[in-house]
Amino acid sequence: MVSSVTNLGRRGLYDWLVQRFSAVILASYCFCLLGSFVVHPDMDYLQWKALFDSNTMRIYSLITLLSLCAHAWVGMWIISTDYLTPMLLGNRATFVRLFCQVGSAILIAIYLIWGVQILWGN
């Protein structure tokens, strides 16, 4: 069992499932949005705004946003542990990897807060 490398005690299966489930939600959201464009080919700003005024759409969007964040975090974590290794970077690897991971986490958190503000703002 591999437990080092900023693993944060996570389990492989858990990450794997998070990625699969979030991907399904993201895909369904894309289809719903595309579908609404097909149903209303001449959608204008007011209709678009009305769509996002309903709480159902807001909650669906929030779930999608959370999925996107989870998906991005697992993905960025995997990419950083695949490519930012001591094999490639020598002793600096742990520092560079941590830097990228913290950077991703902060960015993801900012996007999440910003997204919520957009959904529930005016």
Partner 1 sequence: MLVSIYRYNPETDDKPVMQDIEVEIPQDQDLMVLDVLELVKEIDPTVSYRRSCREGVCGSDGMNINGTNGLACITPLSEVVKPGKKLILRPLPGLPVVRDLVIDMSLFYQQFEKIKPYLIDSNPAPAIERLQSPEDRKKLDGLYECILCACCSTNCPSYWWNPDKFIGPAGLLQAYRFLADSRDTAATERLANLNDPFSVFRCRGIMNCTAVCPKGLNPTRAIGHIRSMLIQKGS
Sign of the C-alpha dihedral, residues 33, 67, 72, 113? Answer: positive
Which residue stretch of 14-22, 29-37, 92-100, 108-116 sits at the interface with partner 1 (rule: CB under 8 A)?
14-22
Q: By C-alpha distance, which of 6, 19, 119 is closest to 69?
A: 19
Q: Using the rule CB under 8 A, is 81 a contact of partner 1?
A: yes
- State which of positions 90-119 bind partner 1 (CB under 8 A): none
Instruction: Choose between 83 and 99: whose C-beta lies nearer to partner 1.
Output: 83
d(CA 33, CA 36): 5
Q: Select 79 or 110, whichever has its Cβ closest to partner 1.
A: 79
